[in-house]
Amino acid sequence: MRIIRILLAAASLTIATIGLPTADATPPASAPVVATGNGVVRGVSVDGTYSFRGLPFAAAPTGKLRWQPPQPAASWRGVRDATSYGPGCPQAPSVVTPAQVSEDCLYLNVSTPALHSATKRPVIVWIHGGGLVGDTGSNYDGTKLAKAGAVVVTINYRLGALGFLVHPALASAGNYGLMDQQAALRWVQRNIAQFGGDPHNVTIAGESAGGLSVLAHVTSRSSKGLFQRAIVESGAFALEQEPLAKAETFGKDFAAKVGCPDQSADCLRKVPVQRLVDNISTATALIPGVVDGAVLKESIGTALAAGRFNHVTILNGSNHDEEALFTLGGRVVSRGYNVPYTSPVTAANYESNIATALRVSPTQAAAIAKEYPLSAYATPDKAFGTLVGDATFACGAAQVNKWTARRVPTYGYEFNDDTAPFLFAPPGLLSVATHGSEMWYLFDLPNAPFPVPLNAEQTVLADSMRAAWVNFAKTGNPSTPSTYWPASGHTGRVLSLAPPAPQLSTDFAARHHCATFAQNLDKVK
């Protein structure tokens, strides 16, 4: 059970590791130098690419700047060392916690294949997952994506209470983490050309809570013009955001809990960081965000359904068995929340668990249960996890594709390699394409606790996926010479990503019973 507890703490809607270079670095004296708008930085050469780490894109959000929109970073004289990652944002300990955390955490990292080129390369800005309470940009090594032809930027953003608390006494209505992401995108606009990237061809990409963040920017008016394309990996699980009043009620309760009965901003800004971290757990994560009237004027699903979003090309998908990871510890991710259930699942509690997890009536739960008869699954827990994963992740992705395909080119996928190594548990505990399994196919994750190299077929699939992601960033179409990838369109077509080669799938919605959930869940229309 200890390894399961560690897994669930680490996997709060993310799969990541503490990222380090994948090859020996050259001495700083021979490393590349770039002039940014804030000053000159010296990076490091890594496996034929260049890496610049720990670049500040905003001022430290400390003291009076705690719970304020991000402010400009200070400039410096001389050459700043950019060979080491900056600290991650405050978070609870887990296997994805960076080596150093600090409230001074608004840093980003750049991996680029070349600094001087006649043709500027597409830019991929990666927004990490972690349930908005954990993880960090330095956990993702973009070297292989850079070698495939993109300039890759990984970013930090404020987490937990520091990033998403809503309280009447604070100047802004939460979503500070999303504001940080916007500040990083503005830094990209000003500086990325110096690193060989095209500021007019920026793709935002993210997994899990990072994918949800991407959708937030797709629907945010204040993010318009900061990017041209969007990649959403397992991010369509929370399409309805909290109203401001409900979020403020949570904020006032939280303020009292951390020692501010007077509910003042001054008191909140003096609360020790660790106390703030300790009182925001994965069970009370501040997903799915809040309709604050500034960054988000309405729920993501409402905006997408009505066509009120930034009309950028979209690549969106999910994994075959998303909930397999979460059901290890007797909880599921449903509509943006971590929901405990009675475990083990039995025939006697099956329907009541469905009702609790999906927030539906007993009649609706019974109708859903008929679509997932226990006799068709190895265990009741497997049946339950499958149906919640379908309702939350798979059908959320299908719905987003349906909405966006009406107005912009949309490409769908399902990661289906059920032999994918799971790097955060001993071999054999999870052998399925679950939440985050695709990350090992896109990024280097050298510090995973249970690393397993990809086999020959998986390596081919990984190469194909990176080529598709980079070509999408470059052209708006993920098709490559070896793989044709049609747009989703009204038929709901997706590309099934599995070795030995991706295959077109036209029955995604049917396989995941999306019609059943459309009839029995109170979906955002």
The C-alpha atoms of residue 446 and residue 430 are separated, in whole angstroms, by 19
Contact 400, 215 (CB under 8 A): yes
Helices (H) then strands (E): counts for the chain: 16, 16
The answer to whether residue 208 is catalytic is yes
The C-alpha atoms of residue 202 and residue 183 are separated, in whole angstroms, by 14
Q: Which residue has the tokens 């009702």?
A: 355
Contact 318, 386 (CB under 8 A): no
* Active-site choice (94, 111, 138, 208): 208
Neighbour tally for 42: CB within 10 Å:
18
The answer to whether residue 437 is catalytic is no
**How would DSSP label each residue in 73-91?**
PPP-SSEEE-SSPPPBPP-
The C-alpha atoms of residue 190 and residue 185 are separated, in whole angstroms, by 9
* Active-site choice (233, 240, 248, 322): 322
Give 185's DSSP letter. Answer: H
Neighbour tally for 237: CB within 10 Å:
29
The C-alpha atoms of residue 90 and residue 159 are separated, in whole angstroms, by 7
Contact 108, 184 (CB under 8 A): yes
Go through 81-93 and write b for each residue having 16 or more CB atoms within 10 A of its CB, e for each that does not: ebbebbbbbbbbe
Give 512's DSSP letter. Answer: T
Helix (H) or strand (E) holding 314: strand 313-319
3-state secondary structure of 283: helix
Q: Which residue has the tokens 């949800």?
A: 212
Contact 332, 283 (CB under 8 A): no
Of 354, 368, 362, nearest to 515 by C-alpha is 368
* Active-site choice (128, 167, 320, 435): 435
Q: Residue 483, by phi and psi: left (phi above 0), alpha (psi -120 to 50) or beta?
A: beta
Q: Which residue has the tokens 């937030």?
A: 216
The answer to whether residue 435 is catalytic is yes
Burial of 456 (0-12, 13-18, 19+ CB in 10 A): exposed
Tell me how long the chain is: 525
The C-alpha atoms of residue 159 and residue 278 are separated, in whole angstroms, by 12
Helix runs in 104-159, H state only: 143-147
Residue positions annotated with a catalytic role = 208, 322, 435
